[in-house]
Amino acid sequence: MRRASLIPGVLILLWVILTRLLLVTPLVVPAPGDVLQQLLVILFTRQDTIWPDIGVSMVKVAAAFCIAALGGVLLGALMGANRRIYQTFFFPVDFLRSLPATAIFPIFMLALGIGFNSHIAYIAFPCLWINTINAMYGVLHGSAVRREIAAVCRASRWQTLVYVTLPDALPYVASGLRLSTSAALIMVIAAEMLMGSKAGLGRRIFDAHFTLAIPDMYAVIILVGIIGYVLNRLVLSAERRVVHWAGREY
Amino acid sequence: MSEPRPVLHCRDVHKTFGGLGPGRLKVLDGISLTVRAGEIVGVFGPNGCGKTTLIRICAGLLSPDEGRVEVDGKDPHAAEIGYVPQNYRESLFPWLTNLENIAFPLKLRGVSEQERRRRVYALLSRFGIELPLDRYPYASSGGEQQKVAFLRAVVIEPRVILADECLAALDFQSRIEVQDQLLSFLRDIGTATLFVSHDPEEAAYMSDRVVVLTDKPTEIAREVQVGLPPLRQQAMKLSADMLSARQQIVSLMVGEVKR
């Protein structure tokens, strides 16, 4: 624990020294005290409260995550299980996942309007392909020996799919879901900055930047960092609990 | 009393891999053998001679090019078969506990969870086997994983058990322990067993007779009878009957087998 807090401690110390000695202008790096005070203000007072923005952004993350999980895992599992579907969909999927979502956000806005729906589409887009690719490889890389055991036990195709192939794909699916959580957080901030938004964490950073409320900007950035970290830890611990066998099969 | 009739019947099985191209490899060249109920037949042969191919054909996982395999007069796909593959560790389902692994074939047959549990406990107590049933395979020892794989194969009381070098990965101590448990187990349930081994001593110790295979293209060099009683003890590995069986197997191996 001591070692783990070494680097953050040094960085904060450096931050204090830089700002105290006025080596940087507070327009670029504000004093840590100001940022901390602003952080407490937006968290615990009515004035400029951040909670509605956290709510808006997290609802978008959750909705996009679920859509991408459902669609991606289904498409990926089908592609892994069926050669025809694989051959039909591999090229389009491979192309779309290589296409930066940011390049096509205007299309989402034209098609879905400004606001919630286009944000969801923009956030879900990369997450969908992450889940598709992972579920596909999960099904493709499942153990042939275990499928053979099912065959000798005279399992039907459906039983083999449900009892063997899909559980075998779960470690890959879980990795996909974890990666898509991180991606969703990146995308929601970008969506709210790029595509216009009444509220949200990205909007708050954008506004603070525009009005030169630099301590406020730093406070929100730090908060986004903390949210991202906590989200990752939560997903990771859920993953370890559900796919407890991942990486320890032999 | 008449001899029990054969349960597993391989008739003139041929198998070639690699189609018609230059990579074409003739593996099995006319294998015929029978295993009767209650009988354990060992299969021994040089590396790469197609022991695993033979077992996989018997299990219905591969089709022979010529000849046929019958279990109880039926196609292997329609028969009750217990299969323990060579890499039994990988064959276990890591998302299921040891108990759920053993009960897996019962689950496929729609047996209720309570009944599955009851039958697994009954199986274990019948043979005095102790296993950490609620643990996962990856948290169990090699010997325990081996027993789980075997119990999963026999839980449905199959007509035929196909075991492919299933003890090869165990250390010496677990291996002789599992050998004896397995033997009394197989004698007790009275199924027909085909037992592949790459160790002549183990092949002889575990079997009533040992089918010795030649190098590719593989035929049966000879069947060696093991003149030991059905139930055995490790000390019998030093008996004259055992040594004679071993000697025959080894001399076949170094003699006509290596062509």
**Contact call for A155 and B60, based on CB within 8 A:** no
Separation between Cα atoms, residue B174 and residue B163, nearest integer Å: 17
Q: What is the pLDDT of residue B89?
A: 86
Give A236→chain B minimum CA distance, Å: 18
Report the range of poorest mean pLDDT among A68-72, A149-153, B216-220. Answer: B216-220
**pLDDT, tens digit, 9 for 90 and up, residues B38-48:** 899 999 988 87
**Contact call for B136 and A245, based on CB within 8 A:** yes
Q: Burial-class residue A63 by CB neighbours within 10 Å (0-12, 13-18, 19+).
A: middle
CA-based nearest residue in chain A for residue B140: A250
Does residue A40 sit within a domain?
no
Q: Where are the alpha helices (DSSP H) in A82-196?
A: 83-98, 105-112, 116-140, 144-152, 157-160, 166-194
Q: What is the pLDDT of residue A250?
A: 53
A158 residue type, one letter: W
Give A150→chain B minimum CA distance, Å: 8
Q: By percentage, how much of chain B surpasses pLDDT 70?
A: 97
* ipTM for the whole complex: 0.87
Residue A79's CB: how many other CB atoms inside 10 A? 24
CA-based nearest residue in chain A for residue B88: A145
Does residue A100 sit within a domain?
yes
Report the range of poorest mean pLDDT among A150-159, A196-205, B105-114, B248-257. Answer: B248-257
Q: What is the pLDDT of residue A1?
A: 58
Taking the Cβ of residue B63 and every Cβ of chain A, the question of whether any pair is shorter than 8 Å is answered with no
Strand partners for B223: B211
Kind plus residue range of the DSSP H or E element containing B202: helix B200-206
Kind plus residue range of the DSSP H or E element containing A1: none
Pull the structure tokens for residue A57: 């952004």
Q: Which residues of B touch A167 (CB under 8 A)?
A: 93, 95
**Contact call for A152 and B90, based on CB within 8 A:** no
Separation between Cα atoms, residue B194 and residue B203, nearest integer Å: 10
Give B52→chain A minimum CA distance, Å: 13
CATH number at residue A174: 1.10.3720.10
Does residue A64 sit within a domain?
yes
The pTM assigned to this predicted structure is 0.85
Nearest by CB: B91 against A145, A155, A245: A145
Q: Which residues of B touch A160 (CB under 8 A)?
A: none
Report the range of poorest mean pLDDT among A74-88, A128-142, A220-234, B229-243. Answer: B229-243
Q: Which residues of A touch B156 (CB under 8 A)?
A: 153
Q: Where are the alpha helices (DSSP H) in B41-167?
A: 51-58, 88-91, 98-102, 104-108, 113-126, 142-154
Does residue A219 sit within a domain?
yes
Task: Count the domains in chain A.
Answer: 1
Domains and CATH numbers, chain B: 1-80+159-259 (3.40.50.300), 88-156 (no CATH)
Q: What is the pLDDT of residue A26?
A: 84
Separation between Cα atoms, residue A125 and residue B166, nearest integer Å: 48
In chain B, which among 81-120 make CB contacts under 8 A with chain A?
81-83, 85, 87, 89-91, 93-95, 104-105, 107-108
Sequence-separated (6 or more) residues with CB below 8 Å from residue A171: A138, A243, A245, A246, A247
Does residue A83 sit within a domain?
yes
A-side interface with B, Cβ within 8 Å? 143, 145-146, 148-155, 159, 163-164, 167, 170, 243-245, 248-250
Report the range of poorest mean pLDDT among A45-49, B36-40, B226-230. Answer: B226-230
Q: Which residues of B touch A151 (CB under 8 A)?
A: 60-61
Q: CA nearest A161: which of A72, A77, A245?
A: A77
Q: What is the mean pLDDT of residues B227-253?
A: 82
Averaged confidence pLDDT in chain B: 86
Question: What is the domain extent for residue A98?
Answer: 48-242
Instruction: Say if residues B75 and B126 touch (Cβ distance below 8 Å).
Output: no
- The phi, psi pair for B70, rounded to 5°, reads -125, 140
Kind plus residue range of the DSSP H or E element containing A161: none
